[in-house]
Amino acid sequence: MFEYAPAPESRSVVDLKPSYGLFIDGEFTEGSGGAFKSVNPATEEVLAEVAMADAADVDRAVAAARRAYDQVWSKMPGAERAKYIFRIARIIQERARELAVLESLDNGKPIRESRDVDIPLAAAHFFYYAGWADKLGYANLGPNPQPLGVAGQVIPWNFPLLMLAWKVAPALACGNTVVLKPAETTPLTALLFAEICQQADLPPGVVNIVTGAGATGAAVVSHPGVDKVAFTGSTEVGRMIAKQVAGTSKKVTLELGGKAANLVFDDAPLEQAIEGIVDGIFFNQGHVCCAGSRLLVQESVAEEVVDRLRERMKTLRVGDPLDKNTDIGAINSAEQLARIRTLTEAGEAEGAKRWSPPCELPERGFFFAPTIFTGVSQAHRIAREEIFGPVLSVLTFRTPAEAVEKANNTAYGLSAGVWTDKGSRILWLAQRMRAGVVWANTFNRFDPTSPFGGYKESGYGREGGRHGLEAYLDV
């Protein structure tokens, strides 16, 4: 691979404070549960200290959200609510550079992705849902849609601002108020979003942000004042939440793990398929719940596909997330890196063949080279468990029926990919995939107008589109 000169994005656009408080009732306040540090995973540098919200803080946040709901937000005409949400969308666009840099600093994702995917999509979600605020009666969900009340939202670290947008935008459009807990490793863009709410003059209490770890999230989910719970994260935690809310009247949506199959047929346009495979698993370091982590290739082209894939992988640049040339940034945390290592070691131990392109990883920070496993069987852990890293398992199939059988042989059902030139086969497969999103001849596409969510143990409910409104309405 020929060398590129480094092209680092300047971080001067971000004004990091040494410490951040909680955002409750329109103001930043101290937390009473101590503090934790948010680390740049690419350098292990401490970026800031962030307040840890305890149960009392969550209490305050829910109370503020309830007041704002009762007194202001649920009473406000939809057309007025819309204008605040449009304002937020605009401010995200105006401060896009700052948000992208901060996202890459805190999360470790390449600036190319935070700049071109995360931030624009986050703004697009606010734009899309802003327009729904005064048109809920036209959403075809029921004759008299009403908001639910206070939404408790817990989001993951893989797309910090985008997941916030997926949750906050529809909640506000429908007239709910929110208490949101960002992930403990990536709280910073959510706190910058709090400033954006202030700039937009959003009434105090409509959006509250409580930072912390698992205990804070549990306090939000189980708080009796919370009417709706929305969670994106692991299936394990999703299961705990489903148990926590059992017997209550809380409405719940869960976006959980995945182990998507990406099917390549012998008539597929291979150049495009290779790009799709790379995008499917190496986008965002593979920290994507809908990542195409199981590649199923028709036997007759398996060798060629794997050879081409190896060639393509040799051109992936791993390293500094702030470098505009970087394709694969840092793994989000030491803990996640350890998990990826454990699972890849299990892959080797169980007999699969591991390969990574020659690449030098930075000495500091959490990095993992893009990796593929061949000779994988359906029983291997690397074919069954979500790795959530840049690790692809390659399996083969002979007939379309076998492809469907293997693709659906998982407890998950979030996404699937199909690569073939034959339209009728695409439709045949799309019908048979037990997955909430099927990408045919493309992969990892997202859009605010487009419902996203899982079958089976990938969770329930949909986010995005007209369907995404339902989670926040009593219909």
Task: List the catalytic residues.
Answer: 255, 289
How far, CA to CA in Å, does 189 sit from each of 16, 118, 180, 186, 407? Answer: 11, 11, 12, 7, 36
Q: In what order do the strands lie in the sheet with 251-255?
A: 27-29, 22-24, 207-209, 177-181, 150-154, 228-232, 251-255, 459-460
Stretch of residues binding another protein (CB under 8 A), selected from 319-327, 368-376, 387-395, 433-441: 433-441
Stretch of residues binding another protein (CB under 8 A), selected from 93-101, 110-118, 323-331, 459-467: 459-467
Shortest CB 239 distance to another protein, Å: 5
Shortest CB 405 distance to another protein, Å: 12
- Write b or e for each residue in 112-134: b if 16 or more Cβ atoms lie within 10 A of its Cβ, otherwise e: bbbbebbbbbbbbbbbbbbebbb
449 binds another protein (CB under 8 A): yes
312 binds another protein (CB under 8 A): no
472 binds another protein (CB under 8 A): no
- AA letter at 267: D
Shortest CB 268 distance to another protein, Å: 13
Number of residues near another protein (by CB under 8 A) = 41
**Which of 170, 182, 187, 459 is in the footprint of another protein by CB under 8 A?**
459
Window 103-132: residues binding another protein (CB under 8 A): 124
Q: Which is nearer to another protein, 367 or 455 (CB)?
A: 455
Q: How far apart are CA 275 and CA 1, in angstroms?
A: 17
Q: How far apart are CA 80 and CA 102, in angstroms?
A: 31
Shortest CB 424 distance to another protein, Å: 13
Q: Which is nearer to another protein, 339 or 432 (CB)?
A: 432
Q: Which is nearer to another protein, 18 or 243 (CB)?
A: 243
- AA letter at 405: E
Q: Residue 33: exposed, middle, or buried by beta-carbon count in 10 A (0-12, 13-18, 19+)?
A: buried
Window 413-432: residues binding another protein (CB under 8 A): 426, 430
Six-digit token string for 94: 């105006």
Q: How far apart are CA 267 and CA 199, in angstroms?
A: 53
Shortest CB 356 distance to another protein, Å: 30
Stretch of residues binding another protein (CB under 8 A), selected from 163-171, 215-223, 231-239, 331-339: 231-239
Stretch of residues binding another protein (CB under 8 A), selected from 37-45, 47-55, 168-176, 437-445: 437-445
225 binds another protein (CB under 8 A): no
How far, CA to CA in Å, does 168 sit from each of 175, 213, 444? Answer: 11, 19, 22
Q: Which is nearer to another protein, 384 or 466 (CB)?
A: 466
**Which of 455, 469, 471, 473 is in the footprint of another protein by CB under 8 A?**
455
What region does 441 belong to: left with phi over 0, alpha with psi -120 to 50, or beta? left
Window 132-191: residues binding another protein (CB under 8 A): 140, 142
Nearest in space to 72 (alpha carbons), one of 224, 211, 213, 202: 202
Q: Which is nearer to another protein, 34 or 142 (CB)?
A: 142
1 binds another protein (CB under 8 A): no
**Which of 249, 363, 379, 424 is in the footprint of another protein by CB under 8 A?**
249
338 binds another protein (CB under 8 A): no
386 binds another protein (CB under 8 A): no
Contact letters for another protein, residues 339-368 (x by CB under 8 A): ------------------------------
**Which of 81, 436, 469, 472 is in the footprint of another protein by CB under 8 A?**
436
Cα angle 440, 442, 445; round to 5: 110
Q: Are strands 177-181 and 391-397 parallel, antiparallel or unpaired?
A: unpaired
235 binds another protein (CB under 8 A): yes
Binding site for another protein (CB under 8 A): 124, 140, 142, 235, 238-239, 242-243, 246-247, 249, 254, 256, 411, 426, 430, 433, 435-442, 445, 447, 449-453, 455-457, 459-460, 462, 465-467
